[in-house]
Amino acid sequence: MKILLTGGAGYIGSHTAIELMNAGYEIVICDDFSNSKPESIKRIKKISGKEFPFYEIDVADKPALEEVFEKENIGAVIHFAGYKAVGESVAKPVSYYRNNLDTTLTLLETMQKYGVKNLIFSSSATVYGAPDEVPIKETAVVGRCTNPYGWTKYMIERILESVCVSDKTFSAVLLRYFNPVGAHISGLIGEDPQGIPNNLMPYISQVAVGKLKEVGVFGNDYPTKDGTGVRDYIHVVDLAKGHVAAVKYIENNDGLEVFNLGTSVGYSVLDMIHAFEEANGIKIPYRITDRRPGDIAECFADASKAKEKLGWQAELGIVDMCRDTWRWQKNNPNGYSE
Ligand code: UD1
């Protein structure tokens, strides 16, 4: 089956492209490079040793997207394309709602026109907001999002739910990612944030490479083991393999299904800093600062449903996450830019 990856040049898309090809799937990528670089496509080809069709298009550009469906015999779509910066979404809500919803609606209209009924969506643990309890199960309450980025994920989930109600032969899988980190073991692809990173791991690795002075630890007075925030960090290659498992699942099932993709293990900010230091033999200076507004104390998955129904579970640990993040950062201090 040929699989279209929207936003396939991005961090999670690029790693998923490789795992899909490793598993024998044909892929097609489209991306407008609004938050990724053409170099990423070259490197996916280098790692896999395979060629695949690539289209530089905006998924909200319907005629351009229709041309892709016209030319390629698409069997399933993995929809990664979307804006994803939490802080920016608070500053530019209209742009976030417009972009993330438009791309999804245009994609769904095009899929309907061409009779494609298999979709995997990049959702996020952000839809759970501040959870009532951890570990978080898929049945937990959703819709307490704290920012427009999170609301777009929530809204797209509801749109896909409605599509599955209206068409019983449609198959949609919502993958709720916890905190993706790490990079491909080759060191050729990884996360390439624009400007100063917002997320913890890219921030640590930019301190390690000397681009930033110290990590600000956002609060040490949370009700956690060491007072710093606890998250479920998952290696991006494990996450990518979760998509392969989801593709196999939608080949055999109709309707809507939701899966948490996490490790079920929570690490604190200080755990991550110390693990990075130990794995790579580099000192990471840090300073405790105020809490970041909107942050929660603890968030980690109950990932048992994915294990049971997809036959998938995370295999890589915190040492792999830290080692692979550093290999990518060290080899590419400026990301994909020269
Ligand atoms: C955030 C988003 C989530 C998104 C994810 C992408 C929210 C509330 N969070 O998750 O939707 O999917 O990014 O990976 O919408 N920290 C520091 N110093 C830093 C950066 C982070 O101490 O410089 C701490 C944070 O307070 C938190 C932990 O590190 O406890 C992880 O933060 P981050 O990597 O930004 O991810 P989340 O906020 O969990």
Q: Which of 11, 149, 177, 249 is catalytic?
A: 149
Helix, strand or coil for residue 233? strand
Tell me whether the omega of the peptide bond preceding residue 180 falls within 30 degrees of 0, making it cis. no
Does 110 score more than 90 pLDDT?
yes
**284: pLDDT confidence band, cut at 50, 70 and 90?**
very high
Output the CA–CA distances (angstroms, integers) from residue 97 to 148, 271, 291, in the order listed: 7, 35, 27
pTM of the full predicted structure?
0.98
pLDDT, tens digit, for every residue of 153-174?
999 999 999 999 999 999 999 9
Strand order through the sheet with 230-231: 267-268, 230-231, 298-299
Q: Which of 203, 222, 236, 269 to mutate to test the pocket of ligand 1 (most atoms within 8 A of CB)?
A: 269
Catalytic-residue membership of 233: no
pLDDT, tens digit, for every residue of 172-198?
999 999 999 999 999 999 999 999 999
- In this structure, the number of other CB atoms found within 10 A of the CB of residue 302 comes to 18
Residue with CA closest to ligand 1 atom 16: 200
- In this structure, the number of other CB atoms found within 10 A of the CB of residue 275 comes to 19
pLDDT, tens digit, for every residue of 226-269?
999 999 999 999 999 999 999 999 999 999 999 999 999 999 99
**332: pLDDT confidence band, cut at 50, 70 and 90?**
very high
191 phi and psi angles, rounded to 5 deg: -80, 135
Q: Alpha-carbon distance 54 to 247, whole Å?
A: 20
Does 31 score more than 80 pLDDT?
yes
Does 338 score more than 90 pLDDT?
no
**305: pLDDT confidence band, cut at 50, 70 and 90?**
very high
Q: Alpha-carbon distance 61 to 50, whole Å?
A: 27
